[in-house]
Amino acid sequence: MWLPTLSFVALVTASAQAALPLPPFLTKCTTREPAALNACATENARRAVAAIAATGVRKYGVAPFDPAFIEKLRVEENGFFLEFSNMTISTLPRGSWHIESVDLNLEQRYIHFIYSTPTLVLKSNYRLEGRILVLSLRGSGDCEVRYDNYNVSNKVQFDVVKNDQDGLEYVKLQNPQLDANVTKSTYKFNNLFQGQDTLNKAAHDIANQNWKEIYEDTKESTLEAFGQFVTSVLQSFFNSVPYKDVFPQ
């Protein structure tokens, strides 16, 4: 496994502000009956994606997430170095995150989302130095990674924590666990080998023939970064609306 360590900065500003009501595009679920609660949560998640994926919602401190913007993502391990900067992650066609299901468990305190998109496209600047498969790589420039039929399982635990300033309880997310499947991934790194075309083409041929191995090897760190991003977006919302106004009592 290469790429196990990672540091991550997302351009998301956490909002410290007075409690807000549920935003107009959400409706409060009133039932605690599991099947009906999950149906209600799924419906709400779909409406939230439709309403704010592209724009975020500033009042709640929620950043846009389609496209998502990640300022810097660095992966380093014994002699392998890869840094992405100014990365955007978007669905194709635009706005095609589909919430397949939401499983909300208030007793065990977790939320489990499954969501998918026909194509996920990551565009970024990169700096790379190290080995992958049989290749010794070095370069910097812009790159594009595409994932076809990206299907994510995203489970996150939560605590309910009292805010001393207003005396109200809020959801604090923790321990996001992600898995994702694709039917294909495609890699294009411009200016590998400082533009030596033959080497560049050979490297891309090998990488794209062995996409599955590369996908599996990079999955853990990619999903860790993606999970942190998604969690920070959700946390901004939960920082704004008290527990009692989000979940049925």
CA 79 – CA 62 distance, rounded (Å): 37
Q: Tokens for 1?
A: 């496994």
- 3-state secondary structure string, 219-233? HHHHHHHHHHHHHHH
32-40, 46-54, 173-181, 196-204 -> range binding ligand NAG (CB under 6 A): 173-181
89-97, 162-170, 175-183, 201-209 -> range binding ligand NAG (CB under 6 A): 175-183
Q: Is it true that the peptide bond before 24 is cis, omega within 30 degrees of 0? A: no
Q: Does 181 bind ligand NAG (CB under 6 A)?
A: yes
Q: How far is the CB of 116 from ligand NAG (least distance, A)?
A: 4
Binders of ligand NAG in range 42-101 (CB under 6 A):
85-86, 100
Q: How far is the CB of 134 from ligand NAG (least distance, A)?
A: 27
CA 152 – CA 65 distance, rounded (Å): 15
Q: Between 119 and 186, name the residue whose CB sits nearer to ligand NAG.
A: 119
Tokens 């995203």 -> residue: 154
Q: How far apart are the first and last CA of the chain?
A: 45
Q: Does 114 bind ligand NAG (CB under 6 A)?
A: yes
Q: Does 157 bind ligand NAG (CB under 6 A)?
A: no
Q: Does 186 bind ligand NAG (CB under 6 A)?
A: no
The alpha carbon of residue 236 and the mean position of all alpha carbons in its chain are separated, in whole angstroms, by: 14
Q: Does 241 bind ligand NAG (CB under 6 A)?
A: no
Angle at the Cα of 151 (from 175 to 42), degrees rounded to 5?
70
Q: How many residues bind ligand NAG (CB under 6 A)?
A: 13
Q: Between 179 and 213, name the residue whose CB sits nearer to ligand NAG.
A: 179
Burial class (CB in 10 A: 0-12, 13-18, 19+), 129: middle
Given the rule CB under 6 A, which residues bind ligand NAG?
Answer: 85-86, 100, 114, 116, 125, 149, 151-153, 179-181
